[in-house]
Structure 1
Amino acid sequence: MTIAAHLAEPPELKKYSGPQRAAALMLALGETYGTPIWEQLSTDEIKDLSSGIAQLGRLPAVAVEHLLVQFSSEVSSMASLHGSFESAERLLSGVMGVDKVREIMEDIRGPSGRTMWDKLSNVNETVLAAYLRNEYPQTVSVILTKLRPEHAARVLAELPGDFATDVIQRMLRMEQVQKEIVVEIEQTLKNEFMSNLARSRKRDPHEMMAEMFNALDRSAEERMLSALEECNVESAERIRALMFTFEDLGNLLPASVATVVKNADKREMALALKGAPEEIRRLFLGAMTERAAKLLREDMSAMGPVRARECDEAQTALVRLAKTLADRGEIILVDPKSDESMIY
């Protein structure tokens, strides 16, 4: 085989972008061969490569061999490489300090967001506004321009009237902000606000149990809560208050109902509504087009008798979908059991 033929790009590699190929290369090089390269990279470049490794998944051996043709004798026997958060963290641990590794992995791991501004856009607007109202309006205006527009709007609405007006005027007059100022604000947010927020967020175990009970079918949920009430009435009541049930969907705003309908599995929704109270059924059917509502009614009628358990399971799935959409910020859950009118 000629060198040219050996270097021809395999079809398996065509779907990978340049950054993904760089990530695969660094993963294949490992600690021994990769350390000199990692040491020459900036923090942003390390974050980009680490994020690529964490999201890489499986890479076929033929693609690895092409990327590492100079080391083909070492990689040709591999079935695949498997990039993951753990492999990225393990690789970085061999070339830099623990604190630096922790900082980088926090930035690329999970739904909280890769950058500081992503993370800030996932903070409840009431909490964020409470912090920002003690800052200079000019600083707040810079921060809001870096957030997602819909989240910035909700934060703005939580600020005191005169303060919010001042912030808006500064945003309208704002010109290009020096990079050094943005970096300084970002670092302050990280050191003061985000670190304090993380320390204060010790999760109530009752919240965790409420989420677990939400995932149960109704008969199991009621059986376990009743058993808990016999030995710990207070905890059972707190869990009930924290749970978001199928009946609570009846309090959704029309726009939120329409979003749930759009994202729901149609057969699952038909099953859920077949066993639902009439007012909830009307609410969901009213969020559909006339034709879609007619088709769903026909599907519900065509099902004939169904087990109550099947309806319960479908209703649980619909609640889970609503909570997922709320976590993504796509809908607002109105919870009458909460001390506040809205939760996200």
Structure 2
Amino acid sequence: MATNKYTGAQKAAILLLSFGEEISAEIFKNMTEFEIKRIGSAMSRLGRLEQEVIDEIMMEFYEILQQNKKFFYGGNDFTMKVIGSAFKGGEADDLIEQLALGSSANLDALELIDPRTLTNFIRNEHPQTIALILAHLDPGKCGEVIKLLPEALHTEIILRISNLDAVAPEIIDEIDDVLRNEIQAMGSISSQKIGGVEPIAEMLNLIDKATEEQILDNLEERDPDLAEQIRQLMFVFDDLAKIDDRGIQEIIKNVKPEQWMIALKTASEAVTDLVFRNMSERAAKMLKEDMEAMSAVKLSDVESMQFEIVQVARKLEEEGKIIIAQGGEAAFV
């Protein structure tokens, strides 16, 4: 091989010259003074090079990248830029795709741990670490864990989740190193947007009303704008009043009269009128009579039944039978 006569410093010099001035300058920033002097000296002594030599060194670099995929991450823009400069279009695209596939970090194993065990495991971690871990859970489980954590942490964690954006897999790997002894199952994730307001609203939709209100009230004191954004994205029982008649009729078909009897106990006049208006005259009359004859009901039972009906509405939306827009407005399709 023609490149065997070149030292490591000379090969590095050839690579950097091939990358161009801008990328080479960025790479030099991450080198020691000794490394810069060695490679700089090699650059000044290279002389004229055959294209065959350059191609062979590029291929050697390519093979090293393939063997060390775990050190390169799909979210690393600079790494992608280096590869794009070093290789021709198709070859560069193939390598970038391979590196992205080979660079997965993992926290999916968290889903295998029950909420209480997970809570005990993370309760003493830094709030930012807790937020990052919870952001990888499904909203229902995230809500359960937050409820089990000390109340003093709730607002802080919600704020941190809302501010999370794209997280590089190397950070996930650092956390996974800490969790590794506790979590044996393996999974994979790529750099992705995991935080923001939407998952918080979805999570709050899935927990009990008392915890939801406590979190939002505390959040209101810290960040009123964020609290309002979350409320706008949440769909609660009172938002049924914003659904059109055809949408409500679809929901009524999927909710038993005895469920309405309890859920409407504390409902707003707007919701109550809307439900009665979209029932048959006979069904509405029977429901009113049952409600008048009904004995006292625990507030928690009412809220639980309202929650069940909200879940029916959300399921219908998932099935494409109604559309719930931001703020709870819906249309029938």
**TM-score normalised per structure 2:** 0.39
Return the index of the structure with the highest Cα Rg. 2
Relative to the length of structure 1, the TM-score reads 0.38
Greater relative CO, 1 or 2 (CA 8 Å, sep 6+) = 2
